[in-house]
């Protein structure tokens, strides 16, 4: 019996689920509902993917595996954006730290050499 | 708990010696965990998916605390899903086996929201009892 595709499928689904779990741990009610919903859908898909070979004897197609791998890679790569919590665009507007504009007349924050925000 | 279709599929795979890849894993699970492995796996995974919602809404926490929250939601779903599904089957004529996943998902998604739910149920009962007394 060749279970390799199923095992790869399970591993990729586990990676997806873990990535969603780590993001959900860092999220809270300040995060936009659509973002929370999107990650829950991704987690649901990952869970269904993990259950499918066990419950419905699902056999993954190579194309499905490729798409799953692509999703997993995206999640792993974009994990860097979540190191300090949810990225600013994902936070509801009223909870965001509003950045100062040059026209405010207040001292601006120095971010990089020669660059202000 | 009624006989799930998944168990039959896995059992057929075992007896026929199927060379497919999927039934191998299913058969392995059934062999190790018994005939209810499929439905319980479905309940656990659905509850895990549902518990992501309260997890993402809770204040930022550690991974360990998040894992405990998910474990609590999942175990609650494992305990309650079969009973709720059987009740749904008797009341609405929906097969219990088909209701496992959505029921487990909803119980998982309820998370820590049991207190407001009980409060709402209590309020409803109070209204009914109060209304009954008022009519007497």
pLDDT, tens digit (0-9, with 9 covering 90-100), for B81-121: 888 888 888 888 778 778 888 999 999 898 877 777 778 88
Task: Pick A47's closest partner by Cβ from B24, B26, B46.
Answer: B46
Q: Which domain holds residue B30?
A: 1-35
Q: Nearest-CA residue of chain A relative to B4?
A: A55
- Report the DSSP beta bridge partners of residue A31: A91
Q: What's the gap in Å between the CA of B131 and the closest CA on chain A? A: 38
* B54–A contact, CB cutoff 8 A: no
Say yes or no: B45 and B81 in one domain.
Answer: yes
Class of residue A55 by CB neighbours under 10 A (exposed 0-12, middle 13-18, buried 19+): buried
Claim to verify: residue B126 and residue B75 sit in the same structural domain: yes
Q: What is the CA radius of gyration of chain B?
A: 19
| CA separation for the pair A8, B112 (Å, rounded) | 34
Question: Which residues, in sequence order, are CB contacts of B71 under 8 Å at separation 6+?
Answer: none
For B66, other C-beta atoms within 10 Å of its C-beta total 21
Same domain, B6 and B66: no
The CA-atom distances, in angstroms, between B19 and each of A1, A55, A64 are: 6, 17, 21
**Interface size, chain A vs chain B, as Cβ–Cβ contacts under 8 Å:** 109
**Cβ atoms within 10 Å of B87's Cβ, excluding its own:** 13
Q: What is the pLDDT of residue A46?
A: 93
Three-state SS at A58: coil
B112 shares a domain with B124 = yes
Please tell me what DSSP assigns to residue A40: H
CA distance B78 to B67: 16
Residues B71 and B4 grouped into a single domain: no
Band of residue A39 on the pLDDT scale cut at 50, 70, 90? very high
Query: Which range, of A73-82, B50-59, B89-98, B100-109, averages the lowest pLDDT?
Result: B89-98
Interface test with B, best of A51, A91, A92 (most B CBs within 10 A): A51
pLDDT of residue A78: 92
Kindly state whether residues B14 and B44 are assigned to the same domain: no
User: Which of B5, B55, B58, B73 to probe the A interface (max A CBs under 10 A)?
Assistant: B55
In three-state secondary structure terms, A112 is strand
Pair B15, B82 in one domain: no
pTM of this prediction exceeds 0.80: no
Residues B102 and B126 in one domain: yes
B97 and B67 in one domain? yes
Q: A58: which chain B residues are within 8 Å (Cβ-Cβ)?
A: 22
Same-domain status, B92 and B65: yes
Same domain? For B82 and B112 the reply is yes
3-state helix, strand, coil in chain A (%, to 5): 65, 5, 30
Q: How far is CA A61 from CA A37, A53, B77, in A?
A: 27, 12, 31
pLDDT at A54: 84
Q: Are B107 and B26 in contact (CB under 8 A)?
A: no
Residue A100 in this model has a pLDDT that exceeds 80? no
Tally of structural domains, chain B: 2
| Same domain for B103 and B41 | yes
Among the partner residues A5, A29, A59, nearest to B57 by beta-carbon distance: A29
Question: When comparing pLDDT for B116 and A90, which is higher?
Answer: A90
């Amino acid at each position: 019996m060749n279970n390799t595709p199923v095992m790869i499928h399970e591993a990729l689904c586990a990676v997806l689920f873990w990535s969603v779990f780590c993001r959900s741990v860092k999220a809270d009610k300040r995060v936009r509902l659509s973002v929370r919903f999107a990650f829950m859908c991704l987690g649901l898909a990952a869970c269904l993917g993990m259950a499918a070979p066990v419950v419905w004897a699902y056999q993954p197609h190579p194309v499905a595996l490729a798409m799953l791998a692509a999703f997993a890679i995206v999640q792993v790569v974009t994990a860097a954006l979540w190191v300090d919590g949810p990225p600013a665009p994902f936070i509801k507007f009223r909870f965001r730290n509003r950045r100062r504009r040059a026209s405010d007349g207040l001292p601006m924050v120095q971010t990089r050499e020669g660059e202000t925000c | 708990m009624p006989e799930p279709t998944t168990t039959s599929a896995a059992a057929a795979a075992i007896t026929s010696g199927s060379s497919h890849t999927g039934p191998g894993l299913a058969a392995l699970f059934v062999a190790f965990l018994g005939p209810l492995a499929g439905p319980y796996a479905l309940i656990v995974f659905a509850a895990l998916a549902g518990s992501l919602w309260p997890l993402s809404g809770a204040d930022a926490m550690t991974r360990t605390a998040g894992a405990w929250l998910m474990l609590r939601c999942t175990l609650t779903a494992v305990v309650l899903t079969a009973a709720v599904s059987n009740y749904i089957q008797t009341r609405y004529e929906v097969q219990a086996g088909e209701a496992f996943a959505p029921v487990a998902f909803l119980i998982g998604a309820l998370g820590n929201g049991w207190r407001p739910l009980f409060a709402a149920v209590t309020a409803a009962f109070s209204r009914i009892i109060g209304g009954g007394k008022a009519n007497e």
